[in-house]
């Protein structure tokens, strides 16, 4: 008989399968129709939902047609008014009831999720389902608080929500719970591979919610596209690939639909030499190997400091060889099946290409069918597909670096900006890196931590908008349309005639770029009041963005230091009041001076939040400036509109390329002297006058301008949104005139849109 040590060395895990029984019983109701207006429709145009681990068909569900989407939107619209008017306390009760019932059926949800998705039961049972339930509890709370906590805001109306297959129930919860809490109704389209837990959720909705408040239409991308294109949907919320996110940005441009996008990522996982290496190895296990790597925020680019790289890689290889790949219904299994043969083929193809491009692939086993063993890619360069592209499989790419500065540079050398994981025993070093990494979520000495109260979402091509917590609620609330009711959309300003043939034109005014007066590349227009105005073009915008990009020192200043500059600006504007009055009238000048004081006052007061999430974790929701912002200033208020938009943007640390009023650009150009006497550093405010529609599109398409505000006519707003589909920058576009002199001109939206939330998680414990 072996002694204990020998037995431990050879002991194999016995199987420990979870029973699929209750889920299979529930599936006997298949085939499924859609859930519309509180009832399931007759199944039609069926397709298979499979179990990717067994390769078997689990059930058939319906492919949603344009007609189905129409019916669902109609049902949601019919329910919208009543649900929005339902007292917050009653909406809270309904969300609470959803949470309770999900909890009651938690096991059924977990088993069904694992059967349909292929992820280990341990993941769905211990992580996905509890987090989804937590999300409904948390948002039951918001439903009760929304009226007091978000005064003046209202629900969008009907929200179209499209979700992916990697966290089917959790993504549903992230979308549905805040929408309902805020008083919206919903049409949700689950991913075609994983519709089943959404249909189980529909069962619960039927018991708890008024008909039409939640509608679920199953189907593929065509069904999703029909929802995006529907004219009576007020907001689209999408999680999925960057490619489809781009298509949705393009399709919704100019439609007036609100939009949030949570897209792909290729998140850095930075290991400093002083990190707890054992913990960091387990971090990689959590970040990339569990859940088969099918996680948008997976820390799939592992950057390890050279001094410990060899040791760390050896430990990773050792660890991955001991992970258990197999039947996801087995409670002892670490890695299950990829979601679908299509996805397995995609992962295989990316790995092949990575190897062809020179990477070394270390797999802890052989890929068979939908099962892919955990792996590492080493010896690759930054242009290797394994380093640059989302693999969405359980394979991490590893690279070493020497200095923290190099780590930041490598971390940020990507078009994505979803998440980052930083490992160091020095809080000083970790926070320094966290501040510099371009990512919406940063985990220090941890990874893949989520909570309903922690905002989640990306920067750059990882999308915009946040899910979770206060920031997530804001994404489901709309501000009243400027100046209320009947005010019509703005008319486009008259085109600016060029100066051909206009002899004797005064060419003294210049653009303001990088702290210098610049001759406009596009010549002059003689039509502006107050003398000829320069016509900036694409090249001038490019120069201005470059100048703004160089003025990063402004962003690093304290709020107090920036406030000094804004106070001084208000003072200098006051001294020049008479000159400006000649251009725009005394009233506008007086309001502009007040506005400058107002933003000087705000500059050092924009607070972030310490969110209550998981015990033993400090979770900070920080407000971070975008960096370089474009601002298309309102045409109708040449001075006041310019200052009401440019000042909040720079107050919180952005540098701006502003395109002032097209009809009356000279008031903004007069501001150049005030900016200079006020010590606004070169490049912080750049002014390019000219045709707003054209310049808006150029700014929208420019990769180095991270956000854009457009206060203009519908065509200009639409052109900007369309042009932003390439780089997916957030565009705040408003087609109606604000009452710039009143409260609307200094609304909270200027603060909210001047920054993006970065959530930093810092676990503690001696």
Binding site for ligand NAI (CB under 6 A): 162-166, 189, 191-192, 220-221, 224-225, 228, 239-241, 244, 247-248, 263-264, 296, 346, 390, 392
Judged by beta carbon, residue 193 or residue 476, the one nearer ligand NAI is 193
Give min distance, CB of 168 to ligand NAI, in A.
Answer: 10
Judged by beta carbon, residue 241 or residue 436, the one nearer ligand NAI is 241
Cα–Cα nearest to 634, from 526, 739, 497: 739
Q: Which of 159, 205, 296, 372 is catalytic?
A: 296
Please, which residues bridge with residue 623 across strands?
757
Judged by beta carbon, residue 190 or residue 641, the one nearer ligand NAI is 190
Judged by beta carbon, residue 228 or residue 696, the one nearer ligand NAI is 228
Give min distance, CB of 313 to ligand NAI, in A.
Answer: 25
296 is catalytic: yes
- The three-class DSSP label of residue 408 is helix
Give min distance, CB of 264 to ligand NAI, in A.
Answer: 5
Residue 202 CA to residue 596 CA, distance in Å, equals: 51
Q: Are 636 and 734 in contact (CB under 8 A)?
A: no
SS3 per residue for 309-321: HHHHHHHHHHHHH
Q: What are the strands of the beta sheet with 158-162, ordered from one edge? A: 39-40, 35-36, 214-216, 185-189, 158-162, 235-239, 258-262, 463-464
Give min distance, CB of 251 to ligand NAI, in A.
Answer: 7
Judged by beta carbon, residue 456 or residue 750, the one nearer ligand NAI is 456
Residue 231 CA to residue 578 CA, distance in Å, equals: 49
Judged by beta carbon, residue 244 or residue 545, the one nearer ligand NAI is 244
Q: Are 165 and 114 in contact (CB under 8 A)?
A: no
Residue 303 CA to residue 272 CA, distance in Å, equals: 8
Q: Are 128 and 170 in contact (CB under 8 A)?
A: yes
Give min distance, CB of 259 to ligand NAI, in A.
Answer: 12
- In angstroms, what is the C-alpha Rg of the chain? 27
Q: Are 374 and 407 in contact (CB under 8 A)?
A: no
Give min distance, CB of 194 to ligand NAI, in A.
Answer: 9
Give min distance, CB of 322 to ligand NAI, in A.
Answer: 27
Give min distance, CB of 240 to ligand NAI, in A.
Answer: 3
Judged by beta carbon, residue 250 or residue 559, the one nearer ligand NAI is 250
Task: Name the residue number minimizing CB distance to ligand NAI.
Answer: 224
Residue 96 CA to residue 135 CA, distance in Å, equals: 10
Residues 6+ apart with CB under 8 A from 82: 210
Q: Which of 113, 123, 192, 262 is catalytic?
A: 262
Q: Which helix (DSSP H) or strand (DSSP E) does residue 67 occupy?
A: helix 66-85
Residue 74 CA to residue 392 CA, distance in Å, equals: 36
Would you tell me how many other CB atoms lie within 10 Å of the CB of residue 342? 10
CA 525-526-528 angle, 5° bins: 90
Give min distance, CB of 262 to ligand NAI, in A.
Answer: 6
243 by Cβ neighbours in 10 Å (0-12 / 13-18 / 19+) ranks as exposed
Judged by beta carbon, residue 267 or residue 654, the one nearer ligand NAI is 267
262 is catalytic: yes
Residue 358 CA to residue 386 CA, distance in Å, equals: 10
Please, which residues bridge with residue 443 across strands?
421, 761
Tell me the backbone φ, ψ of residue 117, rounded to 5 degrees.
Answer: -100, -30
Judged by beta carbon, residue 179 or residue 191, the one nearer ligand NAI is 191
763 by Cβ neighbours in 10 Å (0-12 / 13-18 / 19+) ranks as middle
Q: Would you please indicate which residues are annotated as catalytic (active-site) residues?
A: 262, 296
């Amino acid at each position: 008989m072996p002694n204990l040590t020998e037995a431990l060395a050879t002991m194999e895990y016995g199987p420990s399968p979870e029973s699929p029984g209750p889920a299979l019983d529930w599936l006997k109701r298949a085939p499924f129709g859609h859930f519309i207006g509180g009832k399931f429709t007759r199944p039609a145009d069926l397709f298979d939902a499979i179990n990717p681990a067994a390769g078997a068909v689990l059930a058939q569900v319906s492919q949603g047609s344009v007609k189905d989407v129409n019916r669902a939107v109609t049902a949601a619209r019919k329910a919208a008014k009543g649900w929005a008017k339902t007292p917050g306390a009653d909406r809270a009760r309904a969300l609470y009831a959803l949470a309770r019932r999900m909890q009651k059926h938690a096991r059924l949800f977990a088993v069904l999720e694992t059967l349909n998705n292929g992820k280990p039961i341990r993941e769905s049972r211990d992580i996905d389902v509890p987090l989804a339930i937590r999300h409904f509890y948390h948002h039951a709370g918001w439903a009760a608080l929304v009226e007091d906590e978000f005064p003046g805001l209202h629900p969008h109306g009907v929200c179209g929500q499209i979700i992916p297959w990697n966290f089917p129930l959790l993504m549903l919860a992230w979308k549905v719970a805040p929408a309902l809490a805020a008083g919206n109704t919903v049409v949700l389209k689950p991913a075609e591979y994983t519709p089943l837990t959404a249909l189980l959720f529909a069962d619960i909705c039927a018991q708890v919610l008024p008909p039409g408040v939640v509608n679920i239409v199953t189907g593929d991308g065509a069904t999703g596209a029909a929802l995006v294109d529907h004219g009576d949907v007020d907001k689209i919320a999408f999680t999925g690939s960057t490619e489809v996110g781009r298509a949705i940005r393009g399709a919704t441009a100019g439609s007036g639909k609100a939009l949030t996008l949570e897209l792909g990522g290729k998140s850095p996982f930075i290991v400093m030499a002083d990190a707890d290496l054992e913990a960091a190895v387990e971090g990689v296990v959590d970040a990339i190997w569990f859940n088969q790597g099918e996680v948008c925020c997976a820390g799939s680019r592992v950057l390890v400091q050279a001094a410990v790289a060899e040791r760390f890689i050896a430990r990773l290889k050792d660890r991955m060889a001991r992970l258990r790949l197999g039947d996801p219904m087995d409670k002892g299994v670490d890695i299950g099946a990829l979601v679908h043969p299509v996805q397995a083929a995609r992962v295989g193809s990316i790995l092949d290409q990575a190897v062809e491009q020179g990477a070394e692939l270390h797999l802890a086993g052989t890929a068979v069918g939908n099962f892919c063993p955990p792996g590492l890619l080493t010896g690759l360069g930054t242009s290797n597909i394994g380093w640059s592209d989302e693999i969405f499989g359980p394979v991490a790419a590893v690279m070493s670096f020497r200095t923290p500065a190099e780590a930041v540079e490598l971390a940020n050398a990507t078009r994505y900006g979803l998440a980052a994981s930083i490992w160091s025993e020095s809080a000083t070093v970790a926070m320094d890196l966290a501040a510099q990494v371009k990512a919406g979520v940063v985990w220090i000495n941890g990874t893949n931590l989520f909570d309903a109260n922690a905002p989640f979402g990306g920067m750059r091509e990882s999308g915009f908008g946040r899910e979770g917590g206060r920031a997530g609620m804001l994404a489901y609330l709309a501000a009243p349309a400027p100046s209320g009711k009947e005010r019509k959309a703005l008319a486009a300003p008259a085109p600016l005639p060029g100066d051909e043939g206009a002899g004797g034109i005064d060419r003294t005014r210049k653009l303001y770029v990088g702290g210098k007066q610049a001759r406009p590349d596009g010549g002059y227009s003689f039509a502006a009041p107050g003398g000829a105005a320069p016509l900036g073009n694409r090249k001038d915008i490019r120069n201005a963005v470059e100048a703004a990009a160089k003025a990063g020192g402004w962003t690093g200043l304290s709020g107090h230091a920036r406030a000094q500059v804004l106070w001084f600006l208000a003072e200098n504007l006051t001294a020049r009041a008479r000159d400006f009055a000649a251009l725009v009238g005394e009233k506008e000048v007086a309001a502009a001076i007040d506005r400058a004081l107002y933003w000087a006052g705000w500059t050092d007061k924009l607070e972030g939040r310490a969110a209550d999430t998981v015990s033993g974790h400090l979770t900070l929701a920080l407000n971070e400036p975008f960096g370089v912002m474009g601002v298309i200033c309102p045409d109708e208020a040449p001075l006041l509109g310019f200052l009401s938009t440019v000042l909040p943007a720079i107050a919180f640390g952005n540098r701006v390329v502003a395109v002032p009023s097209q009809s009356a650009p000279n008031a903004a150009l007069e501001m150049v002297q005030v900016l200079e006497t006020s010590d606004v550093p070169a490049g912080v405010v750049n002014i390019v006058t000219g045709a707003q529609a054209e310049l808006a599109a150029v700014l929208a398409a420019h990769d180095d301008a991270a956000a854009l505000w457009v206060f203009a006519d519908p065509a200009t707003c639409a052109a900007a949104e369309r042009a932003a589909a390439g780089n997916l920058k957030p565009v705040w576009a408003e087609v109606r005139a604000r009452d710039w002199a009143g409260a609307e001109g200094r609304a909270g939206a200027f603060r909210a849109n001047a920054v993006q939330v970065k959530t930093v998680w810092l676990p503690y414990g001696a």
